[in-house]
Amino acid sequence: MDTTIFTGFELAARIKQGVKARVAALGRRPRCTLLLDGSNAGAAAYAQRLVASADDVGIEMVPAEYAANAEAVRTQLQAEGDAMMALYPIPSFIGRDEVARLIGPERDVDGLHPLNAGGVLLGERNARPPATARACVLILEELLGSLKGREIAVVGASAVVGRPLALMLLDREATVTVCHAATADLASHTREAEVVISATGVAGLIRAGHITEGSILLDVGIVRTEKGLVGDVDLESVSGRASLVTHVPDGVGPVTTACLLENIVSAAEARAIS
């Protein structure tokens, strides 16, 4: 069987067209502050891509270095604007929970504020979903149409990807199994699934023995190794067995960025109404 390598550029472009139209309708440039630790190569590269993508659709993304102490970062987090992102790694002197609370539900575009996370748990139609989880759902709908009754294994149970993603797949009536580091026999679950979405950051975790012939593999993991960026899926191993694998980093990545821009314009629109 031929294994297709899926890149997300085309889907991302379509999502961004939609964002662009909404920005035009809004009549002003939405503004998002992007706090980061620029000494972290991954964060700096990601920020650069975000600024460029945002500019494409008329969103002003303003990168800024984290300040040197907790009080100053608290002030930064409460700065004016439609949206606020605090990129990982966040400074050790401030907690994740406090960051989310200071950003507040209105300006949170990562789905990390409890009020936004609650919307996802309760299946609210206007919930603001974490971008990576939303990207996975959109890619699957692009590939499969309806997800109703599909058998999907999610590997990785983080609060930012695996957990909200499982709920969003349930919203679409998929049958969902969530596996993680404590799962006794990962392959026994992933082999039964039509779709495996892996978001662990364990390079090469998913191999041929983990999957069934013809399955679809969404690879959310990105690990920097000596061989460059690699994902959770061992591409060589699954080639010829999976029907499709998403490219790392250009599969789920560009779609995630587009979904983040969607969240930013949603934040700006909500602000215009209130």
What residues are designated binding site for NADP(+)? 156-158, 222
Q: How far apart are CA 31 and CA 64, in angstroms?
A: 13
Number of residues binding to a copy of itself, judged by CB under 8 A? 39
Examine residue 119 and tell whether it contacts a copy of itself (CB under 8 A).
yes
Examine residue 107 and tell whether it contacts a copy of itself (CB under 8 A).
no
Examine residue 170 and tell whether it contacts a copy of itself (CB under 8 A).
yes
Annotated binding site: 156-158, 222
Identify which range of 29-37, 68-76, 106-114, 216-224 contacts a copy of itself by CB under 8 A: 106-114
Examine residue 205 and tell whether it contacts a copy of itself (CB under 8 A).
no
Q: How far apart are CA 125 and CA 127, in angstroms?
A: 6
Identify which range of 28-36, 73-81, 181-189, 248-256 contacts a copy of itself by CB under 8 A: 181-189
Q: How far is the CB of 22 from a copy of itself (least distance, A)?
A: 24
Q: How far apart are CA 34 and CA 51, in angstroms?
A: 9
Quick one: 123 or 240, whose CB is closer to a copy of itself? 123
Q: How far apart are CA 242 and CA 217, in angstroms?
A: 7
The residue written with tokens 């969607």 in the block is 262
Q: How far apart are CA 46 and CA 238, in angstroms?
A: 28
Residues 138-157: x/- map of binding to a copy of itself (CB under 8 A)? ----------xx-x-----x
Q: What is the dihedral of CA 263, 233, 182, 210, to 10 degrees?
A: 130
Q: How far apart are CA 219 and CA 199, in angstroms?
A: 7
The Cα-based distances of 81 to 36, 44, 78, 209 in angstroms read 17, 21, 9, 49
What the block records as the tokens of 225 is: 């190794």
Q: How far is the CB of 262 from a copy of itself (least distance, A)?
A: 20
* Packing angle of the helix pair 41-56, 252-273 (nearest 10 deg): 60
- 59-98 positions binding a copy of itself, by CB under 8 A: 97
Examine residue 273 and tell whether it contacts a copy of itself (CB under 8 A).
no
User: Beta strands 228-230 and 223-225: pairing type?
Assistant: antiparallel
Examine residue 137 and tell whether it contacts a copy of itself (CB under 8 A).
no
Quick one: 8 or 119, whose CB is closer to a copy of itself? 119
> Can you give the binding site for a copy of itself, defined by CB under 8 A?
97, 112-124, 148-149, 151, 157, 159, 163-164, 166-167, 170, 173-184, 188-189, 192
